Amino acid sequence: MLAACAARDSNSRGRNYPEPPPKIRSEYQRDRDRIIHTGAFRRLMYKTQVFVYDEGDLYRTRLTHTLEVAQIARSVAVALGLNEALTEAIALAHDLGHTPFGHAGQEALNDAMRKFGGFEHNFQSLRVVELLEEKYAEFPGLNLTFETREGILKHCSQANARRLGELGRRFIEHRQPGLEAQLANLADEIAYNNHDVDDGLRAGLIRVEELMRIDLFGSPYIEVCRRYPGLATRRLIHETVRRMIDALVTDLIQQSRANIQAAAPSSIEDVRSLPKPLIAFSPSVGSNSRVLAQFLRKQLYLHPRVQTATQEATRVVQALFKAYMNNPALLPRNQAVFASDLNHADTDMERARRVADYIAGMTDRYALREYQRVSGQAPHEAKYSGTA
Ligand code: MG
Question: What CA–CA distance (Å, rounded) separates 85 from 12?
Answer: 13
Question: What CA–CA distance (Å, rounded) separates 72 from 74?
Answer: 6
Residues 289-311, mean pLDDT to the nearest whole number: 89
Task: Tabulate helix, strand, coil % of the chain (nearest 5).
Answer: 70, 0, 30
Amino acid at the residue 27: E
Distance from the Cα of residue 143 to its chain's centroid: 20
**Ligand 1 centroid – CA 171 distance (Å):** 20
Coil vs helix vs strand at 153: coil
**Ligand 1 centroid – CA 103 distance (Å):** 11
- CATH topology for 25-301 is Hypothetical protein af1432 (1.10.3210)
Residue of 348 and 337 predicted with greater confidence: 348
**Ligand 1 centroid – CA 30 distance (Å):** 22
Question: What CA–CA distance (Å, rounded) separates 338 from 349?
Answer: 13
pLDDT, tens digit, for every residue of 352-379?
Answer: 999 999 999 999 999 999 999 998 887 7
Sorted by sequence, the CB contacts under 8 Å of residue 105 that are 6+ apart come out as 48, 98, 99, 313, 314, 317, 367
**Ligand 1 centroid – CA 122 distance (Å):** 10
Residues 38-45, mean pLDDT to the nearest whole number: 96
**Ligand 1 centroid – CA 258 distance (Å):** 26
Coil vs helix vs strand at 61: strand
**Ligand 1 centroid – CA 66 distance (Å):** 6
Give the pLDDT score at 157.
87
Question: What CA–CA distance (Å, rounded) separates 196 from 204?
Answer: 12
Q: What is the reported pTM?
A: 0.94
Residues for the chain: how many in total? 388
**Ligand 1 centroid – CA 92 distance (Å):** 9
**Ligand 1 centroid – CA 336 distance (Å):** 31
**Ligand 1 centroid – CA 121 distance (Å):** 10
Strand partners, 3: none
**Model confidence at 234: pLDDT above 70:** yes
**Ligand 1 centroid – CA 340 distance (Å):** 35
Q: Are 28 and 86 in contact (CB under 8 A)?
A: yes
**Ligand 1 centroid – CA 186 distance (Å):** 10
Q: Are 110 and 120 in contact (CB under 8 A)?
A: yes
**Ligand 1 centroid – CA 98 distance (Å):** 9
Strand partners, 15: 145
For residue 114, count other CB atoms closer than 10 A to its CB: 9
Give the pLDDT score at 214.
95
**Ligand 1 centroid – CA 181 distance (Å):** 13
**Ligand 1 centroid – CA 192 distance (Å):** 7
Residues 276-293, mean pLDDT to the nearest whole number: 97
Q: Are 271 and 179 in contact (CB under 8 A)?
A: yes
Question: What CA–CA distance (Å, rounded) separates 206 from 203?
Answer: 8
Q: What is the DSSP string of 247-261?
A: HHHHHHHHHHHHHHH
| 276 exposure class (CB count in 10 Å sphere: 0-12, 13-18, 19+) | exposed
**Ligand 1 centroid – CA 102 distance (Å):** 10
pLDDT, tens digit, for every residue of 154-187?
Answer: 988 898 898 888 899 999 999 999 999 999 999 9
**Ligand 1 centroid – CA 334 distance (Å):** 30
Q: Distances from the Cα of 388 to the Cαs of 111, 179, 200, 204, 302, in angstroms?
A: 34, 39, 11, 9, 21
Give the pLDDT score at 305.
83
Residue 382: pLDDT band (50, 70, 90) is: very low
Strand partners, 48: 61
Sorted by sequence, the CB contacts under 8 Å of residue 136 that are 6+ apart come out as 142, 143
Give the pLDDT score at 49.
79
